[in-house]
């Protein structure tokens, strides 16, 4: 058996699957795509998470598109966090061109065009389904971690949540939380001290500044009602295709705090609400996080630990998470170790640091008798990638340089009119378009403060009235002195008069 036959046998055996699988493309050997060595990813292992990495322009977005199309075809919903805004074309049929036909003939995979059901989501004022969550839904622990608070400050946040729970004050948005901070620092200081202990004003000041920092990144648009329901990410259309939910994030590239806040709250909410699935035949939902370095770059140590914990646990709920970034080193090692599927597009070596990064990247992949991993990483073409996954038995598959199949949908963005067309037909846009501002902590505390001020005002009026009454009933100092003087003068006059009469009698 020659080297080529050995390679084909290894790929065929390593990527075979008894259940349903995603057909990713055809393996490459010595720069040539093979038509009888298909690279397949078992649906059963897609909840084991993954990484899609590579330099700009190497085809990462198209790889996500291919994966999303096939997931949707199997009735598996997708959530794509689209920061660059170049993923929306999946809603429209593609167009077969000569280079696509040639590629598919090479790897022996039939090509056909198709479109897929899409919902356009938004965290900001962009058109689409508005995503919101309340402060209460975060809870004190997660909210403190997002604000990057120390233990003392997190303790104060816990007291605030407890106070609002005890007094049935909903914490819906950031203005609610800020109002509570102001109240416990000023008007309600005595009440809080008596029931929950003394709180330092310097601590509440730090928390307030952290909230303002979050507001400056547009978080006030995210916190509030009505809250997005996780079930609305799990929809399947009338043709049995899973919805591809595209979260449009083009206007928050420079707001990583808001991005990580949303992502962490979403993952936590999904984990809390989804039932345990165990060893299911396919995932319930697959999440693609584009430009993942934006999350990890700005995240605190505590936030990274929280993300790592959720990534470890959430796969048992049937959720697969896929991080997309330029360099695998952008992903913390603790999270990288949890990723079962790795699709590595080409890397560029312009500097010594680049070459070092390529060597480190190569070390993350299984060794191969057929490739020099460090060399092939720099020679892969557009739409080609190194692939290793998990087999149905949970073991790593052989490393395969792969010529990826082309997307069936449009490889370009939607026009503005096409975006409006999708939004007009969407039931979710109508459902979440209303901005609800029901009575919550902000309004309830304003009423409470008004009552306190009214009571204080009445108390002051009572004191003033009592003072005036007291003033009328009691003689003033001037009057007392005047009466005393008069009394003295009268007595003196009487004495003088008496002595005068007495002297007259004596003279007689």
Least confident segment among 100-114, 283-297, 450-464, 483-497: 483-497
The predicted structure's pLDDT at residue 230:
92
Pairwise CA distance, residues 155 & 143, whole Å: 12
Pairwise CA distance, residues 155 & 142, whole Å: 12
Do residues 347 and 54 touch, judged by C-beta distance below 8 A?
A: yes
The predicted structure's pLDDT at residue 486:
42
The predicted structure's pLDDT at residue 316:
92
CA atoms within 13 A of residue 277's CA, in its CB half-sphere: 23
Question: For 360-392, how does the pLDDT look when each residue is reduced to its tens digit (9 = 90+)?
Answer: 888 888 888 899 998 899 999 999 999 999 998
The predicted structure's pLDDT at residue 423:
94
The pair of three-digit structure tokens given for residue 302, joined into one six-digit string = 């505590």
Span 22-50, average pLDDT: 93
Question: For 76-89, how does the pLDDT look when each residue is reduced to its tens digit (9 = 90+)?
Answer: 999 999 888 889 99
Say yes or no to pLDDT of 166 above 50. yes
Question: For 310-345, how does the pLDDT look when each residue is reduced to its tens digit (9 = 90+)?
Answer: 888 999 999 999 999 988 888 888 888 899 999 999
Say yes or no to pLDDT of 485 above 60. no
Pairwise CA distance, residues 84 & 272, whole Å: 30
CA angle 238, 243, 248 (to 5 degrees): 145
Say yes or no to pLDDT of 401 above 90. yes
The predicted structure's pLDDT at residue 499:
39
Q: Report the predicted TM-score, pTM, of the whole model to 2 decimal places.
A: 0.83
Say yes or no to pLDDT of 457 above 80. no
Span 349-354, average pLDDT: 78
Say yes or no to pLDDT of 495 above 80. no
Residues contacting residue 169 through CB under 8 Å, at least 6 positions apart: 163, 176, 180, 440, 441, 444, 445
Local confidence band at 58 (pLDDT 50, 70, 90 cut-offs): very high
* Residue 332, SS3 per DSSP: coil
Least confident segment among 75-79, 98-102, 277-281, 428-432: 277-281
Local confidence band at 487 (pLDDT 50, 70, 90 cut-offs): very low
The fraction of the chain above a pLDDT of 90, given in percent, is 51
Query: Strands 341-344 and 384-388, how do they pair?
Result: antiparallel
The predicted structure's pLDDT at residue 476:
52
Pairwise CA distance, residues 257 & 123, whole Å: 13
Do residues 223 and 65 touch, judged by C-beta distance below 8 A?
A: no
Residues contacting residue 164 through CB under 8 Å, at least 6 positions apart: 136, 170, 171, 180, 441
Pairwise CA distance, residues 470 & 467, whole Å: 5
The predicted structure's pLDDT at residue 508:
44
Span 56-65, average pLDDT: 94
The predicted structure's pLDDT at residue 108:
96
């Amino acid at each position: 058996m020659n080297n080529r036959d050995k390679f084909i046998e290894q790929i065929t055996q390593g990527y075979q699957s008894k259940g349903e699988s995603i057909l990713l493309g055809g393996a490459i050997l010595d720069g040539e795509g093979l038509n009888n060595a298909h690279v397949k990813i078992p649906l059963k292992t897609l909840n084991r998470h993954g990484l899609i990495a590579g330099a700009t322009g190497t085809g990462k977005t198209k790889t996500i598109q291919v994966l999303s199309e096939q997931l949707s075809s199997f009735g598996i919903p997708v959530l794509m966090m689209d920061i660059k805004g170049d993923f929306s074309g999946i809603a429209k049929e593609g167009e077969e061109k000569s280079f696509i036909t040639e590629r598919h003939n090479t790897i022996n995979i039939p090509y056909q065009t198709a479109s897929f059901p899409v919902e356009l989501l938004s965290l900001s004022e962009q058109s689409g389904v508005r995503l919101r969550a309340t402060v209460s839904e975060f809870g004190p622990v997660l909210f403190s971690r997002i604000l990057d608070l120390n233990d003392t400050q997190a303790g104060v946040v816990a007291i605030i949540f407890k106070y609002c729970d005890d007094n049935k004050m909903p914490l819906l948005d950031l203005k609610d939380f800020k109002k509570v901070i102001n109240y416990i620092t000023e008007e309600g200081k005595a009440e809080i001290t008596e029931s929950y202990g003394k709180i330092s004003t310097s601590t509440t000041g730090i928390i307030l500044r952290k909230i303002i920092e979050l507001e400056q990144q547009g978080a006030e648009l995210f916190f509030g009602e009505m809250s997005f329901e996780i079930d609305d990410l799990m929809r399947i259309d009338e043709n049995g295709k899973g919805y591809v939910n595209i979260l449009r994030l083009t206007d928050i590239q420079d707001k990583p705090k808001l991005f990580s806040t949303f992502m962490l709250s979403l993952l936590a909410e999904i984990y809390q609400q989804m039932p345990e699935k165990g060893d299911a035949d396919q995932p319930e939902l697959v999440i693609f996080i584009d430009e993942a370095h934006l999350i990890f770059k700005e995240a605190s140590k505590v936030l990274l630990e929280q993300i790592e914990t959720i990534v470890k646990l959430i796969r048992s709920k049937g959720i697969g998470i896929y991080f997309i970034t330029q360099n695998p080193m952008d992903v913390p090692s603790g999270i990288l170790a949890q990723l079962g599927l790795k699709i590595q597009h080409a890397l560029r070596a312009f500097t010594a640091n680049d070459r070092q990064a390529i060597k480190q990247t190569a070390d993350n992949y299984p060794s191969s008798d057929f490739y020099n991993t460090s060399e092939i990483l720099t020679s892969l073409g557009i739409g080609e990638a190194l692939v290793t996954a998990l087999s149905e038995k949970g073991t790593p598959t052989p490393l395969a340089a792969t010529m990826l199949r082309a997307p069936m949908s449009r490889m370009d963005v939607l026009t503005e009119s096409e975006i409006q067309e999708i939004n007009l037909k969407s039931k979710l846009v109508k459902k979440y378009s209303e901005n609800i501002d029901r009575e919550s902590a902000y309004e309830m505390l304003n009423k409470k403060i008004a009552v306190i001020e009214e009571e204080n005002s009445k108390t002051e009026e009572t004191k003033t009235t009592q003072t005036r009454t007291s003033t009328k009933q009691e003689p003033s100092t001037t009057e007392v002195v005047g009466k005393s003087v008069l009394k003295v003068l009268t007595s003196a006059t009487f004495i003088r008069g008496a002595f005068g009469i007495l002297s007259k009698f004596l003279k007689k």
